[in-house]
Amino acid sequence: MGNDDKLSNKAEDLGGKAKETAGRATGDRSLEGEGKDDQAKASAKQAGEHVKDAAKDVKDGLKK
């Protein structure tokens, strides 16, 4: 997984946490929901990157 992808996913997760916290603090359920959605998207992207890394490791292992 590239460092750019890691940073992007982490930034999206942190932004989602900030939105969720702000929404909870202000009683804005919509903003809180957006934050949770952003976090879920970041987690899904991160999981996809882990799958790609694992597949690459298997592929590299077969070449040896």
DSSP string of 17-34? Answer: HHHHHHHHHHT-HHHHHH
Question: In total, how many domains does the chain have?
Answer: 1
In 10 A of CB 51, how many CB atoms?
A: 10
Judge whether 31 and 15 are in contact, CB under 8 Å.
no
pLDDT tens digits for 4-61? 888 899 999 999 999 999 999 999 999 999 999 999 999 999 998 889 888 888 888 8
- What is the extent of the structural domain holding 50? 3-63
Q: What is the dihedral of CA 37, 41, 47, 53, to 10 degrees?
A: -160
pTM of this structure: 0.78
